[in-house]
Homo-oligomer: A and B are copies of this chain.
Amino acid sequence: MSTVYDVTTWTVPGNPAVTCWTDVGAVINSIIAAVKAGQPDQNSKPGAVIYLPPGDYPLKTRVEVDVSYLTIKGSGHGFTSSSIRYNSGDTSSWWEIWPGGSRIRVQNTDGRAEAFRVARTGNPRLSSVVFENFCLDGVGFTPDQNSYRNGKVGILVDTANDAFRIERMGFVYLERALVVRDADALSVSDNFIAECGNCVELIGSGQASKVTDNLIGAGYVGYSLFAEGHEGLLVTANNIFPRGKSAIQFRNTNRSSITANRLHGFYPGMITFEGLNKENLVSGNHLRREAEPWGPMQPYGNGRDDLFGVIQLRGDNNLVTGNLIAWYVDPAKITPAGATPTMILVASGASNVIATNHVVANVGVKTVVLDATTTGTRVLDSGTAAQFQAYTGSYAFRATP
């Protein structure tokens, strides 16, 4: 019995009217049922690969993945900018108007939010499920195309999991692109995730995972990358572009790394630590902060002012080193009006280290600000004395010569 399935050639037993051209979700569910039926023996469940050739597939029914070792793959992440198109007026002369590749149009009629839900109770945790090289497209937002809202979720992994791979995928126009709960040794790599409300959300808890080598950019309503309760997360080699309420938001995440990324944002708080975050490394990143240059998106923001910090830390013993912050905002757009913008804010916590960072800005800025409750921060070679502001007496400071 073959373990290689093609959605375009699969016939749903007892329901041949359902095809990948009417509901690819029902087709994939039918294939998964066949995989399970064909691998009843606990001793040999190698899984399968389900292939989506390039095509336009509507999904009406949520896919329920509850087997390990399943690869769902296509031939093309198929991103194009729907945001540009929706804001372009007459596109009747355009060559094409939608994303493509192996494209699933997320159009659930089953009352579900998700295109794919991956979950299983009992033992062991699901292992080694792979999503690879296809496109999940939410098609449109409501009530308008700049809202980043439609309630649609691309992939939700909803129970603890091990050794999953989300690689080379495309996600566009979903309110939430990829949500993974309780990840262990997850790889999110080389994806293109843009024009989604949130791009990558690692929720609940997690350990020993990596988010590497991606092109990511959320809408103003959410996060390009959010991680909660994680330990040992490695975020490296990503090019994170606007917009994103935060480019990277850590909540109660410890001993993780944000290194060698490029980040570009239009709002304060490009890297935001929320809650209590300990012993994280933020190094070798390039952060470019500008004001929104594009008319259609200028009405929006993330609600934070320029005292929030381009980087805001909360927690203890974090090391921020070797980063370059390039800040350019029309002074008229600084909030509160007339404020001196903050580059790195240590908002709470003890024993953080800020060393050898460089800031360039078109106005006078505070490169590092220490809030009143912070203690023992060491600030080295990260600005002049005039650029440093401490609302606490507990710190060490060495000015850049």
**Chain A interface residues (CB < 8 Å from chain B):** 2-4, 8, 42-49, 53-56, 67-69, 71, 73, 75-81, 84-85, 88, 91-103, 120, 122-124, 127-128, 130, 162-163, 165, 167-168, 170, 185, 187, 189-190, 192, 194, 207-210, 212-213, 215, 217, 232-234, 236-239, 241, 255-257, 259-262, 264, 278-281, 283-286, 288, 316-317, 319, 321-324, 326, 351, 353, 355-356, 358, 360, 378, 380-381, 396-398, 400-401
Query: Please, which residue of chain B has its CB at the minimum distance from the CB of A261?
Result: B234
Known A47-B54, A75-B49; contact A124-B94, beta-carbon cutoff 8 A: yes
Q: In the complex, are the beta carbons of A232 and B241 less than 8 A apart?
A: yes
Q: In the complex, are the beta carbons of A46 and B78 less than 8 A apart?
A: yes
Q: In the complex, are the beta carbons of A378 and B360 less than 8 A apart?
A: no
Across the interface, A95 reaches (CB within 8 A) one of B103, B124, B353, namely: B124
Known A95-B120, A208-B241, A279-B360; contact A80-B127, beta-carbon cutoff 8 A: yes
Q: In the complex, are the beta carbons of B262 and A234 less than 8 A apart?
A: yes
Q: Could you list 9 further interchain pairs (A-B, Cβ under 8 angstroms) beyond the known A91-B123, A351-B360?
A: A49-B76, A69-B100, A77-B130, A185-B194, A187-B215, A236-B236, A255-B286, A259-B260, A281-B324
Alpha-carbon gap, A210 to B4, bound state (A)? 32
Known A54-B47, A101-B47, A257-B260; contact A213-B215, beta-carbon cutoff 8 A: no
Alpha-carbon gap, A279 to B398, bound state (A)? 23
Query: Please, which residue of chain B has its CB at the minimum distance from the CB of A41?
Result: B96
Decide if the interface of chain A is mainly helix, strand, loop or mixed.
loop
Q: In the complex, are the beta carbons of A43 and B317 less than 8 A apart?
A: no
Across the interface, A75 reaches (CB within 8 A) one of B71, B98, B187, B316, namely: B71
Across the interface, A2 reaches (CB within 8 A) one of B53, B238, B241, namely: B53
Alpha-carbon gap, A401 to B286, bound state (A)? 26
Known A81-B162, A101-B47, A232-B239; contact A208-B215, beta-carbon cutoff 8 A: yes
Q: In the complex, are the beta carbons of A95 and B123 less than 8 A apart?
A: yes
Q: In the complex, are the beta carbons of A103 and B46 less than 8 A apart?
A: yes
What are 18 A-B interface contacts by the 8 Å CB criterion? A3-B75, A45-B95, A46-B100, A49-B76, A79-B185, A80-B162, A88-B123, A210-B213, A210-B239, A212-B213, A234-B239, A234-B260, A256-B286, A257-B260, A280-B286, A317-B360, A319-B324, A319-B358
* A82 CB, min distance to chain B CBs, angstroms: 10
* A184 CB, min distance to chain B CBs, angstroms: 9
Q: In the complex, are the beta carbons of A124 and B213 less than 8 A apart?
A: no
Instruction: Point out the residues of chain B lying under 8 angstroms from A398, CB to CB.
Output: 401
Instruction: Point out the residues of chain B lying under 8 angstroms from A194, CB to CB.
Output: 185
* A167 CB, min distance to chain B CBs, angstroms: 8
Across the interface, A48 reaches (CB within 8 A) one of B2, B54, B81, B130, namely: B54
Instruction: Point out the residues of chain B lying under 8 angstroms from A120, CB to CB.
Output: 95
Across the interface, A54 reaches (CB within 8 A) one of B49, B79, B212, namely: B49
Q: In the complex, are the beta carbons of B212 and A237 less than 8 A apart?
A: yes
Alpha-carbon gap, A264 to B187, bound state (A)? 17
Q: In the complex, are the beta carbons of A355 and B356 less than 8 A apart?
A: yes
Instruction: Point out the residues of chain B lying under 8 angstroms from A212, CB to CB.
Output: 213, 237
Known A213-B210, A255-B288; contact A42-B358, beta-carbon cutoff 8 A: no
Instruction: Point out the residues of chain B lying under 8 angstroms from A236, CB to CB.
Output: 236-237, 260
Instruction: Point out the residues of chain B lying under 8 angstroms from A92, CB to CB.
Output: 42
Query: Please, which residue of chain B has its CB at the minimum distance from the CB of A88?
Result: B123
